[in-house]
Structure 1
Amino acid sequence: MKRLREMGLMALALVALAGCGHDAKQARLMVIITPSLDNPFFGQEAAGAEAKARELGYQTLKFSHGDDAFKQSELIDTAIARNASAIILDNAGAQSSVAAVQKARNSGIPVFLIDREIAARGIATAQIVSNNYQGAMLGAQAFAQAMGEKGPYVELVGKESDTNAAIRSKGFHEVLDQYPDLRMTARQSANWSQSEAFTKVQSILQAHPEIKGVIAGNDTMAMGAIAALQGAGRGDVAVVGFDGSNDVRDAISGGKAAATVLQPAWRQAQYAVELADKYLREGKTGQAEKLIMDCLLITRANAARLSNFALK
């Protein structure tokens, strides 16, 4: 009987250890959620976060919410159900994402925001964003120079619900409005979309064939504008984007764009994972909640050094 009791206790201990092993494995899961995995910018965010998380010994799951706040909420539920250690999130809207981040926090899962901030403090563990205003001013200055400081131009704005769209537009105009001979003839949202930008610029060219420049809130829209301009045989129009994509890098090198603004997507994502790892090990990040990274201007002079949203 004593032997049977000992064997029973050993069996219970093994079951307990197996359970602990399962929990430990689950506790090493990092969930990465971005607006898209196909868009180069968001894809590199996800890739950067995943690479750093795996380097630090975490399992990863990658999802995209498609800028749909409801889907984002469902993905947060999935992360909670999988007992994630932390969530790396490029969110689906400053206002509409607050509840989802709060839900994760209430479940004991820290959330580390990248690229886009939310309209609340004290909910996310960290919010790591580019200095969009500073970057937009850099891009606007390059745009004014490319246009010879005069002429009619078009502004393509990102998704109106995205804080970054408004901040970049304000940064553009902080510079451009100081040039009396620069005249904005059209300002339209293309929702960060290349296809929408292509269609919008086609229509704008018909209404305003005199335009000499297009400044875009992201590189995806800039590429749509370039395609529309090429289709119309308008190689005389200056184009400036924002993000630092390989596509616009190549367009700059080929003389089809004047400049873009690099926001360090790869580094932001990896830093978010590093902070998450530190928080999980030490209970704190040692940093303020909101962290801002400056942007860099990319022109023909340094375009060759740009690769996957990082300057080599």
Structure 2
Amino acid sequence: MSKKLLVLVLTAMLIPAGFLFSAGQQDGGEASNLMVIITPDKDNTFFTAEADAAKAKAESLGYTTLLAVHGDDPKKEGDIIDTAIARKAVAIIIDVANADASPNNLKRATDAGIPVFCMDREINATGIAKAQLISNNFQGAKLGGEYFVQVMGEKGNYVELVGKESDTNAGVRSKGFHNIIDQYPDMKMVARQTANWSQTEGYSVIESVLQANPEVNGIICGNDTMALGAQAAIDAAGRSDIIVIGFDGNDNVLDSIMEGKIEGTVMQPNAKNAEMAVELADTYIKTGSTGLDEEKILNDCFLITKENASQWRGFRKK
């Protein structure tokens, strides 16, 4: 076996099975132009759009790409980062697995001389990532909370579905919702449960809640996937009087809004965050600096209702 072939075989063995789901064309195995893009899930439309936007931007700037998923598992995330280090990547663009555990993984990359750029989820540490491109979740949640109160007529019994407790965004969105809703004494929260960003869990939680609390007439959700699960549970219960609000702006929820099944959602600038992360990585690779004074950059969210849902697709305006 030639030395070159041996190197390629050993490098392939470093990629954990099931983590790699797409890659740009590699230039003879050269690692000096490789940008590694890591997201939580290849099936969730939010993360697919994020990965696609980052990949397209990186390749438009002349980089080859390797895309991988960590499944919200910090250990798998660490294995992928080790692969990026072994491949001598020029940058890592990542939507992290865990706000508290991921910094240790990211630090291994930075210690190896690979700059890291976070998108979507932030980490509970500074000085490790060169930049963190984050949706303004608090601002967005306030928009969602204001619209929820409005369509509920400032009164009613509601449920809150919360995302993963390990994800900083889940807590920030919940605080944003309550910053508005709690100002209205006739808005009564009868249940607040996590559904872990999952459509299946959103369905099962709301199915149980409606059985115990048939008086519920509103559900506000920390993401659109849970909102879709909630809406399915409402349909299964034969209810048509329950208002549902989501958060993310995925295409399936936009369709539901236009069909009149879901009342509204908050659109995250998902593609913008991904593209900016890659652009800043490119700037850093070429100049040694992002050119920014702050590590965290917040991009504002948008309220989506039936009036403007048709104007958006793939987390961007048509």
TM-score (norm 2): 0.90
CA distance in 2, matches of 1:88, 1:23: 22
Give the drift of 1:24: 9.5
Match of 1:124 among 123, 129, 132: 129
**Alignment map for 1:68-87 (pairs within 5 Å):** 68-87=73-92
Q: Which residue of 2 aligns with 1:40?
A: 45
The AA in structure 1 aligned to 2:312 is L
Q: Secondary structure at the match of 1:223?
A: helix
**Structure with the greater alpha carbon radius of gyration:** 1
Q: Which residue of 2 aligns with 1:251?
A: 256
Q: Which residue of 2 aligns with 1:14?
A: none
Match of 1:301 among 278, 293, 307: 307
CA distance in 1, matches of 2:286, 2:29: 13
Q: Which residue of 2 aligns with 1:15?
A: none
The AA in structure 2 aligned to 1:212 is N
Any stretches of 5+ residues in structure 1 without a counterpart? Answer: 1-21
Q: Which residue of 1 aligns with 2:275?
A: 270
> In 2, are the aligned partners of 1:105 and 1:123 still within 8 Å (CA)?
yes
Alpha-carbon displacement from aligned partner over 1:149-203 (angstroms, at most 9, x marks no partner): 1110000000001000000000000000011110000000000000000000000
CA distance in 2, matches of 1:89, 1:23: 25
Give the drift of 1:310: 1.0
Alpha-carbon displacement from aligned partner over 1:2-42 (angstroms, at most 9, x marks no partner): xxxxxxxxxxxxxxxxxxxx899311100000000110001
Give the drift of 1:311: 2.0
Q: Secondary structure at the match of 2:169?
A: helix
CA distance in 2, matches of 1:137, 1:234: 27
> In 2, are the aligned partners of 1:157 and 1:191 still within 8 Å (CA)?
yes
1:24 to 1:199, Cα distance in 2 relative to 1, 3 A: closer
CA distance in 2, matches of 1:146, 1:212: 11
**Alignment map for 1:206-225 (pairs within 5 Å):** 206-225=211-230
Alpha-carbon displacement from aligned partner over 1:200-228 (angstroms, at most 9, x marks no partner): 00000100011000000000000000000
Any stretches of 5+ residues in structure 2 without a counterpart? Answer: 1-26
Q: Secondary structure at the match of 2:79?
A: helix
**Alignment map for 1:1-312 (pairs within 5 Å):** 25-287=30-292, 288-312=294-318
The AA in structure 1 aligned to 2:303 is L
CA distance in 1, matches of 2:111, 2:143: 40
Q: Secondary structure at the match of 2:42?
A: coil
Alpha-carbon displacement from aligned partner over 1:260-308 (angstroms, at most 9, x marks no partner): 0011111110111111011101111101211110000001111001101
CA distance in 1, matches of 2:66, 2:232: 35
The AA in structure 2 aligned to 1:308 is G
CA distance in 2, matches of 1:200, 1:24: 48
> In 2, are the aligned partners of 1:30 and 1:58 still within 8 Å (CA)?
yes
1:24 to 1:198, Cα distance in 2 relative to 1, 3 A: closer
Q: Secondary structure at the match of 2:31?
A: helix
> In 2, are the aligned partners of 1:142 and 1:258 still within 8 Å (CA)?
no
Q: Secondary structure at the match of 1:91?
A: coil
CA distance in 2, matches of 1:204, 1:110: 45
CA distance in 2, matches of 1:201, 1:60: 40
CA distance in 2, matches of 1:254, 1:236: 15
Percent identity between the two aligned chains: 57
The AA in structure 2 aligned to 1:55 is S
Q: Secondary structure at the match of 2:30?
A: helix
TM-score (norm 1): 0.92
CA distance in 1, matches of 2:78, 2:96: 10
* Divergent runs of 4+, >6 A: none
